[in-house]
Chain A
Amino acid sequence: MWATSNPNLHAQARLSFELCRAALDLEDAEPEFAATATAPAAAAIDFRAASGRACGAGARQMVGTLLPAVPVAALHELLLATARAIEPLASTAVGEAGEPAEEEEDEDEEDEASGAQLAAVGLGGALLNKATALLAPPGVDDSGRPAAADAARGALREAMVALLQRVVPCATHRHRPLCEVALGTDFWPAVLRAVATWDGPPRDALVEGAAVALAARVSFPAEELLASWDEVGLEEDPNPDLKP
């Protein structure tokens, strides 16, 4: 959608994302609990179970929240559309040399296209935050057996995982405003709680991938860009005792 040069389309997209996010902010979220005494893959409970519902023996732990009043079809479409909108940004999160670097702000930063991008990422982060429990594995019933097939839950989970895979790169994007918007939604605590219920390899891949990207993103930019910053004194010779 970003390929178009029509500013009206960007403005409409931005407005849509912002309105959706505002609506989400007003939407009640419902906590979902999982038993922690069983294996993680079997820990999640049925889709949209009532808060506090018993789910087998052992301690219970909140794995995230759901949006009980949002129609399943609408939520599914929203997740897919947001993920699609974010996809081009996720692919540009890392620079050509493979190192995310602080990107200088473009002059047209505030134009409608980038405004729509920021709004999409903000909505993506908000969806991750409010519907995190969808990331938990398919539910089991009270006896620990797999719950009756729930196609809607499965499709929502797939869409949610796709959205997660696109928002995470934006959270370390070299373009700082994008990074700020993604991290400003504070999706990590909720996502990590839900992801803790995943089997080892996918969970480790997500967490370790994010850790590697963050470890690279926190670095200062190259000397040339750093020299253009307005810091007084940084370029002065330090105390000779401190310079080897």
Chain B
Amino acid sequence: MGLEEYCEFREAFLGVAVAELGRQRPVAFAAHAVQVLGAGGGAHEGGGAAGGGAAGGGSWQRREAALFAATASVEGLLSRVLAPPGMPPPAAAAETGTLLVPLLRAALAPPPAAASAAGVALLLRARCKLVTALAPFLAAAPAEHGLEAALRGVLGCLPHAAATTAAAALESVVHLSRRCADEIASSEPLIEALLDALGRQLADPDAERRAALISACGRVVACSASHAERFVAPFVAELQRASATLDGAADYLGPAYESRARVAAQLAERLGDATAALAPLRPLPKPALVAVRTHL
């Protein structure tokens, strides 16, 4: 048994059952999570349905489980909160929607100090999964629903030492970049926070992870021409540096094929990063694209 195996079992079997029951009791699991995490005091109607009574705190396992169940059932809840395009909001949408803000706030609160390192990692993973699931809700009313706090909450998990937490954070950022690109791009602090996080993660040795984050940032920058040059500049600089190193390698590395191959591989990685950065920028207006091209 390992963490990955358990998580797969939980999502494929228990999560599906939670989602089914969540369609019958849309607010039950979310209200339970708010109650367990101590953010809402169990004030919402129906809060005891999945709760078993106790409110506030509990072990990190209990908190994490409450977040997992809320995430697994949130699709049914969102269908009662968000209106399909061109349609009026569903009946009682406002009342039901009031539960999601405290749920998100509770998930974004720092993990309890008493939690172990593993507990913190798994609580933060659960936070990222919830933010991913709530992306349509965040996009619907970014300011009221707390998009900024949610994005900052997952950006902070990107460099987490536990691979499962870092992966959940990346998935969340990628998802938010798809659902909330315009909303993030229209907020100067948010897009700055995103680009700062990108700057810190460019040293990630995993090329696939790096490319996913770069593309996510590119999708957001494509909605904000004024940030295009800042976004592209580090990739161009890295590309030029790698290219210069390869040029020099012919002089000072001599015939050592392995050394030159290593330098060439670095250049290939930089090219990959630059491609991941430039590809999402196609929707930018022509003057912005021209400005970007001058850097190349």
**Interface residues, chain A, CB within 8 Å of chain B?**
102, 104-105, 171-172, 176, 179-180, 183-184, 186, 188-189, 192, 196, 207-208, 210-212, 214-223, 226-239, 241-244
Is B14 in contact with A105, judged by CB distance below 8 angstroms?
no
> Interface residue tally of chain B, by bracket?
35 or more
Q: Compute how far the CA of A180 lies from the CA of B14 in the bound complex, rounded to whole angstroms.
A: 9
- Taking Cβ atoms with an 8 Å cutoff, the residues of B that contact A are 1-4, 6, 9-10, 13-18, 20-21, 23-25, 28-29, 32, 49-52, 61-62, 64-66, 68-69, 72, 110-113, 116-122, 124, 156-157, 159-165
A46 to B9, CA, bound (A): 40
Q: Which residue of A lies closest to B60 (CB)?
A: A220
Q: Is the CB of A237 within 8 A of B4?
A: no
Q: With A231-B4, A235-B118, A236-B117 in contact, do A220 and B65 touch (Cβ < 8 Å)?
A: yes
B65 touches A104 (CB 8 A): no
6 contacts between A and B (CB under 8 A): A104-B1, A188-B16, A214-B50, A214-B69, A216-B52, A242-B156
With A236-B162, A238-B117 in contact, do A244 and B1 touch (Cβ < 8 Å)?
no
- Asked if residues A184 and B13 are in contact (CB atoms below 8 Å), the reply is yes
Determine the distance from Cα of A202 to Cα of B21 in the docked complex, in whole angstroms. 15
Picked from A176, A183, A196, A234, the residue with its CB within 8 Å of the CB of B17 is: A183
For the complex, what is the distance from the CA of A229 to the CA of B1, rounded to whole Å?
6
Tell me whether A218 and B162 are in contact (CB under 8 A): no
Contact B161 A215 (CB under 8 A): no
B127: shortest Cβ distance to chain A, in Å?
Answer: 10
Contact of A183 among B16, B111, B119 (CB under 8 A): B16
Q: A192-B21, A233-B161 are in contact. Are A238 and B6 (CB under 8 A)?
A: no
A190's closest neighbor in chain B, by CB? B20
- A192 adjacent to B52 (CB under 8 Å): no
Could you tell me the distance between the alpha carbons of A69 and B119 in the complex, rounded to whole angstroms? 53
A47 to chain B, nearest CB (A): 26
